[in-house]
Structure 1
Amino acid sequence: MTSLLPGPAAATAAPLDARHRRPLVLVAVLGGAAAALSTLVVCLAAGVVGWFLADAGAHGAPRDGLRVGAFAWLLAHGSGLHVSGVTVTVVPLGLTALAAWAIWRLGHRVGDSVSGHGPDADRIADGERDWTVAVATACFAAGYVAVALVTLRLADTPATGPSAPRVLLWCLLLCATSGLASIAVGSGRAAIWTALLPAGARAAAATCLRVLGWYLAVAAVAFLAALVVDFGTAVNVMSRLHTDAGDATVYVVATATVVPNAVLFSASYLLGPGFTVGIGTLVSPAVVQLGPLPMFPLLAALPDSGTPPAWTAYLLGLGPLVAALAAAWSQRRLPTQRWEEGMLRGCAGGVLAGIVLALLAAVSGGAVGPGRMRAVGPDTVDVLVHAVTAFGIGGLVGGLLMTGWQRRAARRASLDSPA
């Protein structure tokens, strides 16, 4: 992957290194298929283990466990399915994150294996077109989609009806994001492309990632704190399900796959718009209106229905505060003494983080049952407006404060230095 980094040694060594000039199409297609199969095999194994733990294999056959594992993998790719005539469209983002991680790891290896193809760093810097990453990503996606379509064909039944177009769309999105980025990094092209970008653009992108990461960490802490406070309710839900040790283990693992969804719900709550747990409900710092809820342990983290305490209004300040701190911390690595540049970096990074958070919130909800449970999750437009506003203002303030501190430090250093 370092064969295309700037430098005459790397540029001359790449064509001679066979490890970085393997057949591009073959390696990329096999890499995509391997990325899909790696998580699919894990889901299939978990399905068989869950089938055995549920009733020690007294009912059904191992192929039933395999089918459940395949459906879990397809759900992670947005397939949805029908359960007893009820449509379920929610995506277990825990499994989706696992799939994205597998795509990243295999894509990075694919990029390293084909990094010797195409022009070297000097020719790319001179403006010569390089299609290595684009072709490798397309072949990688073809291998991934092929595995998905075969899985869909083998697991599909008239009663379940997973959506093939949704699976295809999610596979292409994963390969176009995690796959493209990992191949670009592994092949060394990302280092060349980012070096050509202005310092302000790189700083804004770094601020975006830091703001988003810090805020999701805060949302995760808030969700876990709410769950721990009312952990007895979650335990009571498990006891009322009358599950034995094997069933409880399977249920806990299945619950863990939607923890990222709950974290995004928590992020929406802290921003202000909140989320719904059914048609006609709302959970936000201003009002909590609930109805009958299914027996699901993570719902123990929900606040009580009615008017929330007055202190919950202060939670709305977490978004701007986290964005300001993250923007200031990010600017420490790429300092600037220009007020307008520090302001633009922080504000642009915060706005980008708000847009990404809204996109994540859009895929965190869906239908989880019949009737009123057909609408669960945050409202994407509300999250977008609140996130862009909170992160943009916070990033702007953080960028200005850090710029002022850096200007003061530079002035003090110039005064302390000898004439």
Structure 2
Amino acid sequence: MGTTSYQPPRRGTQSRTSRVIEDRESLRKQLSGDDSIEGTHPAIIGALVALQSLLVGIVLIVLPVLVTSVVSTTLVDQNFNFAGTAHFGAAFWVTAYGAHLTISGTTMTMVPLGLTLIVLLGSWFTVKRGLVPEWIPIASYVGTHVLAVVVLTAIVAPGLASLSRAFLGAAIVSVVAVYLGLRSAGGNNPVREALGRLPQWIRSSVKAGLGGLLLTVVLGALAVILWIILGRDSMANLLSGWSLDAMSGAALGIAQLSLIPNLIVWAISWLSGIGFAVGTGTIVAPAEVVLGPLPNIPVLAALPEAAIPDSFAVIFLCALVCAAGLPALAVVRGPYAMKRWQILVAPLLVAAVFTGVWALLAWWASGSFGPGRLAEMGVSVPDTALRMLLVCGAPAAVLIWLLRRETKSWVGSLFVGKGGPLYSVEDEAVATTSYSEETEASDPVGPLAAGGSAASARSSRSGFSGASPVNARSAESGTSAGSQPSSGSARSAHTPPPVN
């Protein structure tokens, strides 16, 4: 009589696993896909994304203020008021958009640009994740964002000047976030279509101005790093005078990091030779340094305490000029034809974009930082605007006016004395060839679609090398009319003449 062991019935593990996977897929689609918002009005989608952007700013700025006030023993010893702390956190948050912060009857107008950067990054992340690239959601997002910031500013930081700056700051932050978030979005992107309608030389000029500003920001950051390295002993001595616990020390560190972008803007003014102020009656410039009692902020102890030699000041100014003007090479090397008035206006547009954005940053990064002598902090915008206009406009004008191929051809025609066209036929063929090669590299269909034009441009250029101007123009007109040279004529164009 055999013995058999008991075996429990097998369960359908495979079907259960597949069902779990299906449930997870449906949940993922509901959370991250378009099925959960199907049928929702586009304006509501934009408003919800704007509220998410505001929530990110509240979590990253207001919540740390509340946590610091609750946990820090230095603040708990005092009478802790949750409502007052929340009011201060909200007022501190709207300063990221340019609103005024009032503490103990003292109004602070200087904007911590680090907070503005945090708000901008949070808005960019939410726009990239959730905003639909259509005009109605975009308008709803910008309107809701601006309206919410203005309403909250009217509650926690009232005043006409504060509301005006908050409105302007919220509009700029929301528009920049929409541009950065939807720049790489696929489909019918209205932002890309709107920018694509601008002439190519205008887009290149705007990019050159913003690129020059970015390079100058890099130079300013390097200068601030050098200041911190050289002044680390002074910072340590000042920090040793603080009696802080762990949470208060972390809050002080975050506050100093929020002022680092302000120092970068001040450093750019220092590199230009104008300098900046850290209090009424003070100046920090390469040629002159006049300091008084500074606020007990360790990062301010790293500022230069003495003037530098004139040779170093000239080197720093030349480096700033090169950084601001080199991006104008994008306009010089652009594969498109430009008229004479466009060549004259392009450097002015580059310098206007550079100086305008710089003036806005300098205006936000400067102002009042406390009572008394701290009412004047940062850069004097009227004094530095003209210097920054020359720093960017002079090299951009030299590069664009002298190195554009139309200018060289026009100057050559003046020396010849025949009053030729704005740019020669050979230069047009070179521009067509370079544009065709760029199309082939960026478009997979480019080698098939642009091969004929590139070949015709190359054949035209090779035919112009040994022909007179009249024959060159006739050859170009024949090529543009659609005539293709035969193989025999092509060989004759490259075969040297027989020797008698």
TM surpasses 0.5: yes
Which amino acid in the other structure matches residue 121 of structure 2? W
Q: 1:110 touches 1:183 (CA, 8 Å); kept in 2?
A: no
Q: 2:133 touches 2:189 (CA, 8 Å); kept in 1?
A: no
Question: In 2, distance between residues paired with 1:301 and 1:339?
Answer: 50
Q: Secondary structure at the match of 2:107?
A: strand
Tell me the equivalent position of 2:443.
none
Tell me the equivalent position of 1:38.
56
Tell me the equivalent position of 1:171.
170
Question: In 2, distance between residues paired with 1:21 and 1:397?
Answer: 56
Of 76, 89, 94, the residue aligned with 2:114 is 94
Of 73, 76, 82, the residue aligned with 2:102 is 82
Q: Secondary structure at the match of 1:299?
A: helix
User: Are residues 1:391 and 2:411 paired?
Assistant: no
Once the two structures are superposed, the pairs formed by residues 6-405 of structure 1 within 5 Å of their partners are 22-55=40-73, 58-59=76-77, 60=80, 66-109=86-129, 111=131, 113=132, 115=134, 132=135, 135-148=136-149, 151-152=152-153, 163-179=162-178, 182=181, 186=185, 188-305=189-306, 307-314=307-314, 315-328=316-329, 330-331=330-331, 334-335=334-335, 345-399=346-400, 403=404
Q: 2:99 touches 2:153 (CA, 8 Å); kept in 1?
A: no
Q: Secondary structure at the match of 2:305?
A: coil
Relative to the length of structure 1, the TM-score reads 0.77
Instruction: Tell which structure's C-alpha radius of gyration is larger.
Output: 2
1:233-260: CA deviations, max 9, x gaps? 1121111123233322210111101111
1:143-166: CA deviations, max 9, x gaps? 224543565577579xx9994554
Cα deviation for residue 347 of structure 1 reads 5.0
1:112-147: CA deviations, max 9, x gaps? x253xxxxxxxxxxxxxxxx3xx5444223422454
Once the two structures are superposed, the pairs formed by residues 403-418 of structure 1 within 5 Å of their partners are 403=404
Q: 2:74 touches 2:244 (CA, 8 Å); kept in 1?
A: no
Q: 2:209 touches 2:350 (CA, 8 Å); kept in 1?
A: yes
Question: In 2, distance between residues paired with 1:197 and 1:349?
Answer: 15
Q: 2:235 touches 2:299 (CA, 8 Å); kept in 1?
A: yes
Which amino acid in the other structure matches residue 355 of structure 1? G
Cα deviation for residue 96 of structure 1 reads 0.8
Question: In 2, distance between residues paired with 1:396 and 1:20?
Answer: 52
Q: 1:90 touches 1:367 (CA, 8 Å); kept in 2?
A: yes
Taking a change above 3 Å as real, the CA distance of residues 353 and 53 of structure 1, as seen in their structure-2 partners, is same
Cα deviation for residue 228 of structure 1 reads 1.0
The more displaced of 395-404 and 333-342 is 333-342
Cα deviation for residue 397 of structure 1 reads 3.0
Question: In 2, distance between residues paired with 1:177 and 1:167?
Answer: 15
Q: 1:331 touches 1:402 (CA, 8 Å); kept in 2?
A: no
Q: Secondary structure at the match of 1:258?
A: helix
Question: In 1, distance between residues paired with 2:304 and 2:165?
Answer: 34
Q: Secondary structure at the match of 2:72?
A: helix
1:162-194: CA deviations, max 9, x gaps? 945543443234334444675687561122223
Question: In 1, distance between residues paired with 2:143 and 2:195?
Answer: 27
Taking a change above 3 Å as real, the CA distance of residues 58 and 194 of structure 1, as seen in their structure-2 partners, is closer
Cα deviation for residue 61 of structure 1 reads 5.9
Q: Secondary structure at the match of 1:219?
A: helix
Question: In 2, distance between residues paired with 1:152 and 1:200?
Answer: 40
Q: 1:327 touches 1:395 (CA, 8 Å); kept in 2?
A: yes
The more displaced of 196-205 and 242-251 is 242-251
1:334-371: CA deviations, max 9, x gaps? 34687966675455323321221112111111111111
Q: 2:127 touches 2:182 (CA, 8 Å); kept in 1?
A: yes
Percent identical pairs in the alignment equals 24
Question: In 1, distance between residues paired with 2:152 and 2:360?
Answer: 27
Question: In 2, distance between residues paired with 1:271 and 1:20?
Answer: 54
Computed over aligned residues only, the root mean square deviation of the Cα atoms, in angstroms, reads 3.7
Which amino acid in the other structure matches residue 174 of structure 1? V
Q: Secondary structure at the match of 1:257?
A: helix
Q: 1:37 touches 1:147 (CA, 8 Å); kept in 2?
A: no
Q: 1:215 touches 1:267 (CA, 8 Å); kept in 2?
A: yes
Cα deviation for residue 20 of structure 1 reads 9.2
1:74-119: CA deviations, max 9, x gaps? 22122222222222221111111221222333334565x253xxxx
1:15-43: CA deviations, max 9, x gaps? xx988985121111112111111111222
Cα deviation for residue 219 of structure 1 reads 0.9
Q: 1:208 touches 1:352 (CA, 8 Å); kept in 2?
A: yes
- Greater relative CO (CA pairs within 8 A, separation 6+): 1
Tell me the equivalent position of 2:484.
none
Tell me the equivalent position of 1:8.
none
Q: 1:137 touches 1:183 (CA, 8 Å); kept in 2?
A: no
Q: Secondary structure at the match of 1:388?
A: helix
Taking a change above 3 Å as real, the CA distance of residues 415 and 358 of structure 1, as seen in their structure-2 partners, is farther
Taking a change above 3 Å as real, the CA distance of residues 22 and 185 of structure 1, as seen in their structure-2 partners, is farther
Q: 1:324 touches 1:399 (CA, 8 Å); kept in 2?
A: no
Aligned residues: 379
The more displaced of 360-369 and 22-31 is 22-31
Question: In 2, distance between residues paired with 1:139 and 1:338?
Answer: 38
